[in-house]
A and B are shown apart, each in its own frame.
Chain A
Amino acid sequence: MPQTSPILTLKDVQYRWSGRAAFDLRIRALNLQPAETVLVLGESGSGKSTLLSLICGTILAQSGQVICAGQDIAALSASQRDKFRADHIGLIFQQFNLLPFASVQDNIALPLQFAKQRRERVGDMTAEAKRLCQDLGLPDEVLTARAGTLSVGQQQRVAAARALIGTPPLIIADEPTSALDAASQSTFLDLLFAQSQAHETTVMMVSHDARLSNQFDRVLHMSDICETARGAL
């Protein structure tokens, strides 16, 4: 048993998409410890998206508990969940993470608009955005560039900076490296982990790519942590 309380706990969670594409997901138990890096492996259709939506609070489990940073997600109202997500979870998607028309700086600072705690932790937004870019190996001039003009690799690093700003306790990455080549994937994770370790941030990444496994503290398989069922139930 770990000594510290987990940053994220899912217990006996059940979620069911009704309608034509009915889909049933059950998770008995999932615990993430502070500062650990976890890779969740699963093929597409294994319920990854549903799992992420449950953690982020954009959907609510029909039964069971999702506890993030000590807070039961279900106990919050919809707008409280949005605020909670802004403050506690940094998100990185597969691609098209950024608002292409906005500057890199504005993209990085975007979550702070909705996250009071993170904003207070940051202080000077511009300086922090600049520091993160430097630490993630981005040249200074990208800060004022429009995000849409950056290469995919650079865009993913900007997305990482956006997830890291204001040091949320949990970062969730949904196949952030799938659009990158193998060498860039590895570098990206190294840079991300260097930052997350510095602030004891937990990183949970979902992917179908097992080659990245050795860079993580722990590797879980979707098939081990949850049961899924399809069709009319």
Chain B
Amino acid sequence: MILRLAFGSLLARALTVSMTILAIALSVALFLGVEKLRTGAKASFADTISGTDLIVGARSGSVQLLLYSVFRIGNATNNVTWESYQDIAARPDVDWAVPISLGDSHRQFRVMGTTPEFFERYKYRSGRSLAMKSGLVMDDLFDAVVGADVAETLGYDINDPIVVSHGIASFADHKDQPFRISGILEKTGTPVDRTVIVSLEAIEAIHVDWNNGAQIRGQSTSADVIRGMDLQPQAITAALIGTKSRLQVFNLQRAINEYRSEPLLAILPGVALQELWQIVGIAETALVGVSAMVVVTALIGMMATIFSSLNERRREMAIFRAMGARPSVVLGLLILEAALMALIGAVLGLGLVYLGLWIGQPLIDSAFGLWLPIEAPKLTEIYVLVAVVFASVIVSMVPAIRAYRMSLADGMTVRV
């Protein structure tokens, strides 16, 4: 019955109480939402590349290699010679190897030369393969496959011609050898979305008339002539490698790192991703901190509400006292009330998160390539809810103790 009376008292002040509950619910939803986004982003980040055991490039730093080979950020310091690549790819413990060649661009997007095997081997989000939204993998020498963002940003469709520029942010176009878009990829949420993919040979082809980064004056070889040439590349930027057995990964890594004829670097993508996340991760901590402060603010708001309700409720407390309730009952009632508000707010907040996920999941996935799973609340989330209720109990102690003092002083007679 006491619980019912506490409920009744809350209901009687429905407006202020519902505002308080709303504030708590929103803050809890924010906190849990940020937490979901954070873990989602982290998982999504770690899922940028999967299924690849090693990434091989010229010797530099592991984060740098990861950045240019997977994220297309920055440039390679050096190339890997075709001979070294062939040598490594031929090793018995190597299951497959996909070379990639970077360095050119189309508008703001990077162009990557690779083999058709890339489309089979590149995996993201724990084992998902690239899929064509429309069109096919490049067939002709001057075919290109573009990522979802490229097609969307530049409004490209199948069979549209595109011209690749030499280098990055450059005005020198490979306009003698225009490409044709043969396929558009589905959105993946990975850097592939912002990449123009052509064949390894095409990268060679567009550089036929070029020397040392400049077009040789007056020289322009026609496409037909180029098709007849040997377009074996001299060097590649990096290679993705899969091993026959995961146990061999470390051996292979050491072998590549100690490769004699050329300074090379092999990295485990997962490890390098973690290293990179540690750098990016400072922002996430700040975000969690800020949303935690919002929860604290909501709880302090609740304390203020209880405080301001004390005066109008002196009568109520006096009635309880007159009926023989100990002052501690009055104390308990206020704490119970706060705990009830926080509990309702916390559960409502959790509900809001799920509602938001339910509505926002496809939107976030298509806009940011961030997949937020809808799953049963994790233990940590339950802890957060419990912590909010517990914190509300502590916070409500302040007004409750004041009410306790007041009711001790007032007794059963209130002169309001």
Contact = CB atoms under 8 A, between A and B. Distances in A.
A94 to B, nearest CB: 10
A101 B11 contact: yes
A53 B8 contact: no
A70 interface: no
Nearest to A92: B322
Interface string B1-27: 110110011011000000000000000
> Which of B2, B4, B413 has the largest count of A CB atoms less than 10 A from its CB?
B413
Contacts of B413: 49, 52-53, 174
A205 interface: no
B1 A106 contact: yes
Contacts of A100: 12
A189 B167 CA distance: 102
A111 B324 contact: yes
A99 B326 contact: no
A115 interface: yes
A110 B316 CA distance: 12
B321 interface: yes
A56 B323 CA distance: 10
Nearest to A98: B319
Contact of A82 (B1, B12, B316, B324): B324
A56 B8 contact: no
Contacts of B328: 79
A58 B413 CA distance: 10
B195 to A, nearest CB: 65
B58 to A, nearest CB: 76
Q: Is the interface of A mostly helix, strand, loop or mixed?
A: helix
A4 interface: no
Nearest to A102: B8
Given A53-B411, A113-B1, A99 B9 contact: yes
Interface string B301-335: 00000000000000110011111111111000000
A97 B319 contact: yes
B412 interface: yes
Contact of B411 (A58, A162, A174): A58
Interface string B209-235: 000000000000000000000000000
Contacts of A143: none
Interface in A157-192: 162, 174
A97 B4 CA distance: 19
A86 interface: yes
A114 B9 contact: no
Size bracket of the A interface: 20 to 34
B12 A96 contact: no
Contacts of B11: 101
A82 B326 contact: yes
B325 A82 contact: yes
Contacts of A49: 413
A115 to B, nearest CB: 6
A106 B411 contact: no
A53 B322 CA distance: 10
Contacts of B321: 58, 82
Nearest to A52: B413
A100 B11 CA distance: 11
Contacts of A58: 321, 411-412
Nearest to A58: B411
B414 to A, nearest CB: 8
A115 B329 CA distance: 14
A115 B5 contact: no
A99 B319 contact: yes
Interface in B374-394: none
Given A96-B315, A99-B9, A91 B411 contact: no
A85 B322 CA distance: 8
A99 B321 CA distance: 12
B411 A56 contact: yes
Nearest to B14: A101
Nearest to B323: A111
Contacts of A226: none
Nearest to B414: A96
Contact of B324 (A87, A93, A96): A87
B16 to A, nearest CB: 14
Given A96-B315, A111-B323, A102 B411 contact: no
Interface in B104-118: none
A219 interface: no
Nearest to A85: B324
A83 B328 CA distance: 13
A113 B328 CA distance: 14
A162 B323 CA distance: 9
A87 to B, nearest CB: 7
A174 B326 CA distance: 21
Given A56-B412, A58-B411, A99-B319, A106 B5 contact: yes
A222 interface: no
Contacts of B316: 99
Contacts of B1: 106, 109-110, 113
Given A56-B411, A106-B5, A114 B324 contact: yes
A2 to B, nearest CB: 28
A113 B412 contact: no
A99 B5 contact: yes
Contacts of B325: 82, 86, 113-114
The 4 closest A-B pairs by CB, nearest first: A86-B324, A101-B12, A58-B411, A114-B324
17 contacts: A53-B411, A58-B411, A79-B326, A82-B321, A82-B324, A82-B327, A86-B323, A93-B322, A99-B316, A101-B9, A106-B5, A111-B323, A111-B324, A114-B324, A114-B329, A162-B323, A174-B413
Interface of A: 49, 52-53, 56, 58-59, 78-79, 82-83, 85-87, 91, 93, 96-102, 106, 109-111, 113-115, 148, 162, 174
